[in-house]
Chain A
Amino acid sequence: MAREVTVREYLSRRLAHLALVWLGITILAFVLANLAPGDPAQMILIRRTGEIPSEEAIGRLRSQLGLDDPLPVRYGRWLTHAARGDFGTSYQTGEPVVRELSDRFPATLELGVTAVLLGLVVSLPLGMLAALRRDTLLDHGSRLLALAGASMPSFWLGYLLILLFAVTLGLLPVAGRGGWAHLVLPALTLSLGDAASLTRLTRSLLLEELGEDYVRTARAKGMPGWRVATRHALRNALNPIVTLTGLRLGRLLGQAAIVETVFAWPGIGRYLVDSIYDRDYPVIQGFVLYMGTVFVVLNLLVDLAYMWLDPRVELAGRRVARHG
């Protein structure tokens, strides 16, 4: 029988992996950003003056920014600073990258978390209903909804929602960040595509569980169908849903650029797109590292959530002792 590992041991091991992943991400972020064609010094000068800069001006700025140094030297310098929490200064805004990202991240996080919650609120009941009312109009309707959600590009869905709820019905504001009313349309736009697939996943997982012996036994004992589904079957079906939800949050945070542009939401996504256009290396590198970290942490949280959901779960090939 495999030796049990404690949660502390497991976490230590995962954090050690995290350091390696971080290092890989820094290399990837640095190389990718620097390999793209285009000169950041030139873009800075164009942005600053609105005019086309002279070769001398570009050369001077390149030298000031240390862009003439070999790539490994620049990477080493950046990594040393990053290790101290200094991701450099944005070429475009002149502000520290950490401040730029942390100023914008709350808006994106607010949008992403709301979208995930909204997706769960919609998809879990809908998926359950579709499973419990299999092959009924409700089931077919949810399938159509799922297909529609998966097929629609988010910007297009955003425009449709604005047309309906803001232009035609006048119920919600078109764009901007303010109270909850401003949050509804962008969050809905961001959530619907993934909610559709989550609905179908919930349905199929639940159908699988509903065919199990323990469900038949519970029903034979007279337990109502909805109660069997919510108390027993759904709980056993939750692991893949938790995995997908965790990954979705990470993906939504990374994919928010389009929705943030459509709804003028002052988040991190739109800022990243502009930074890529302008070859703002410190921001691109900082963002990739930031998002890489978010993904890794979310994965870790998802794994830990497994333990809570299912005591039989094994992590890293070994059974985890929850008392550790």
Chain B
Amino acid sequence: MAPHRVVSFALAGLMPLALATCERREPAARSAHATRAAEGQELVVAAGQDEFGLELNRHRLGMYPLNAGVCEPLVRLTHDFRVEPWLAARWAYRGDGTYRFTLRQGVRFHDGRVLDAASVKYTIDHSVATRTQYSFLDEHSAQVVDDSTVDIRPGRANTRLLEQLVHPTYAIIAPGNDPAVHPICTGPFRFVEYVRQDHLTVERNESYWGEKAKLRRLTFRFLPDDNTRALALRAGDLEAIFDVPRSMVAGLEHTSGITIMTAPPGAVIVLYIATRGRGAHARLADPMLRRAIAMAIDRRTLVEQVLDGYGAMVNTVNPPTVLGQYASRVTGVPYDPTGAARLLDRAGWTAAGDQRVRSKGGERLTLTLIAQPSGVDRAVTEYVQAQLARVGIDMRVERLDPAAFESRLNGGEFDLDLEVPNQNDANPAFLLALRWYSKSSVKSTAFLAAGPRFDDAVEQALSAPDHETLQRRAADAMHILVDEEVAAIPLAGIYRIYAMSSRVHGFDPHPSKTNQWWSTVWLAK
């Protein structure tokens, strides 16, 4: 063996020892920053990569995808994915696609101006001009009725507007304000500074209309590397990190002064199935094969062992809470590897003698799964691969960069696709209509569509007159998708994991990261 290889192995062996040694020590640097932070109520949080540099996100500085609490929407997303009044005190659906919002009184922007209907119209028009809206809004959508009343009517029928307006992209900005430069809004924090790829700082809005933020200052530092974020927390350079990889939880948990917190599932690991695949990827058009795959995967073990308990058994492709009481209508396909093997036999895929992979007419049962490394971690794909191997299905995993992934997905060059869609608004039908509805404008739907019965159910949901009916109809559509057609297999709801200094109090993790609120957070001395 070459000398440098020997040294490599030796050093690799020393790594755990080095980490363990360092873990036992109390960081010297921590105390100084910690004391300053606690006294001044200054919280430093590590965010991931800075995405405000992207062209359109520039117009949503401090709002989306990182929500710093500078701006607020008309209606807010609760932890159970319902809509609650916020800058709008109340609303009414007027029947012709129009929602009428009555604004809360006494709300002022950071520059002292009063929130009025003109501000809402300016915000909607701005979102149209900057192409940040996704609800069929146009320049005629917002109409001022009087100072505190505004009508919003999408250019195309969209009865789900209310559920979508909770998204931070619709947060209200002051008339004439360019949020790309210095957002002026109504939130509990006011914008201080943004340094590209480095940090975003906000401070308490002393004239906030509601309960004032407890922190005096809040800084988000952009640290793209997972390990660096964890090390910075341990070094005391900051007080909180989010999106902690599961593999790091154990190490952080055993570090004194650090607490792990989790948010309820706001995203679900979903196995998308090419029900309408073509050529070499047409096998999963067979519903028996799809059901056999679903039956072959032990989702409980996935949650308990692979996800180390940082996930939840779910049967829905959205977090179940978004469907309210109707979530139970979706039952999921029960784990039954023996039944899966029988189904495969019936479908003509058999394993002769000591063959480990089934075949039919001399063709091996090999499927291709595509995934993005940033989306789903390797352990999950390997687990699914191993589970399918046990019933004689050979699954090849291709982990692709984002552009190659999208290219393969939209070209139909896959059998299975593993993704983790996030739920960031209150509309339970949004994902269904986007990914499996045959009339969706999204190209990959041509390969994923779940059939005419599902389409009908989605159309029913999208035109529901109220939220409860929406939940019920969305649950019915999801039942067809998951239980009957098996066009998608929800594998697990995943917890968003936060690691915090134990001095951080009042943090209430929201299942939707983009709707996280910071005003209740404070630092103990």
Contacts and interface: CB of A to CB of B under 8 A. Distances in A.
A174 interface: yes
B3 interface: yes
Interface stretch (B53-61, B74-82, B377-385): B53-61
Interface in B410-449: 410, 434-435, 440-444
Contacts of B5: 151
A261 B403 contact: no
Interface string A73-96: 000000000000000000011100
A265 to B, nearest CB: 9
Nearest to A280: B403
Contact of B228 (A162, A278, A279): A162
Contacts of A218: none
Contacts of B444: 52
Contacts of B222: 264
Given A151-B11, A168-B25, A38 B4 contact: no
Nearest to A162: B231
B227 interface: yes
B136 to A, nearest CB: 12
Contact of B221 (A40, A46, A51, A176): A176
Contact of B55 (A52, A93, A169): A93
Contacts of B402: 38, 43, 46, 277-278
A36 B441 contact: no
Given A94-B55, A176-B221, A168 B27 contact: yes
B234 A167 contact: yes
B11 A170 contact: no
B7 interface: yes
Contacts of A57: 441
Interface in A270-292: 270, 274, 276-279
Interface stretch (B15-23, B358-366, B468-476): B15-23
A322 interface: no
Interface residues of B, number: 58
Interface string B225-244: 10110011011110000000
B27 A170 contact: yes
A173 B11 contact: no
A188 B490 CA distance: 46
A72 B444 CA distance: 30
Contact of A147 (B4, B19, B57): B4
A173 B227 CA distance: 15
Nearest to A103: B196
A267 to B, nearest CB: 9
Given A54-B442, A279-B403, A166 B7 contact: no
B401 interface: yes
B28 interface: yes
A31 B403 CA distance: 17
Nearest 7 Cβ contacts at the A-B interface = A38-B403, A170-B29, A54-B441, A170-B28, A94-B55, A266-B197, A48-B56
Given A159-B227, A168-B22, 15 more contacts: A37-B403, A37-B404, A37-B408, A42-B406, A43-B403, A52-B435, A94-B58, A151-B4, A159-B228, A163-B231, A166-B235, A168-B27, A168-B28, A170-B28, A261-B225
Interface of B: 3-5, 7-8, 11, 15, 18-19, 22, 25, 27-30, 49, 53-58, 64-65, 131-132, 134, 196-198, 221-225, 227-228, 231-232, 234-237, 401-404, 406-408, 410, 434-435, 440-444
25 contacts: A38-B407, A39-B410, A42-B406, A43-B402, A47-B56, A51-B434, A52-B442, A54-B441, A54-B442, A55-B443, A92-B55, A94-B55, A147-B3, A152-B11, A160-B15, A163-B22, A164-B22, A166-B29, A170-B236, A174-B237, A175-B232, A264-B197, A270-B224, A277-B401, A278-B403
